[in-house]
Amino acid sequence: MENHITKVVTNWKGRILHWDVLNEIFNEDGTWRSSVFYNTIGEAFPGIALRAARAADPSAKLYINDYNIDGAGAKSTAMYKLVEKLLVEGVPVDGIGVQAHLTVGSVTSTLQANLARFTSLGVDVAITELDICMTLPADEAKLAQQAKDYREVVTACVNVPRCVGISRFHP
């Protein structure tokens, strides 16, 4: 893992603004997702990965990215606690990527508060892979709700000073 991260990050050193070093590492209930890294290294793998990325490019921002952490819940709490622990241990974490694969009418009322909770740790947050799907066929009501939902997500990000960006996901 360290060798791979070092090779990839070194290859792009100085040309990549931020890396999603860790992606989708938690199950819905906040437990660790089974992966070759978790199964082989255990709970130490995030720190090892982030330290290797920082060593390979000290100027790049390092993110942990996951889905279904937009609102309050077990998975977002697991992310919060992990980042809090890593920072206490001196592990470099610059931000949390919040994948927002949403459905029309389902933007959580806790989105803005949860983004602010993440940034209270002293890290940036970015809404990544934003998409708000609907059951087809589309109609005026669904399209109006979708527009309202996008506006709500953007407003939540804008209202949190360390929410640094939104990326649209196009499946």
Bridge partners of residue 57, in order along the sequence: none
Contact 125, 98 (CB under 8 A): yes
The yes-or-no answer on residue 89 being catalytic is: no
Q: Which of 2, 24, 84, 152 is catalytic?
A: 24
| Phi, psi for residue 56 in degrees, rounded to 5 | -75, -30
DSSP state of 32: B
Other Cβ atoms within 10 Å of 39 Cβ, number: 10
**129 catalytically annotated:** yes
* DSSP three-state, residue 103: strand
Q: Which tokens is 114 given?
A: 């949860």
Beta strand pairing call for 124-133 and 95-103: parallel
Amino acid at 127: I
Q: Please state, as a whole number, how many other Cβ atoms lie within 10 Å of the Cβ of residue 14.
A: 8
Catalytic residue among 43, 84, 89, 129: 129
Catalytic residues: 24, 129
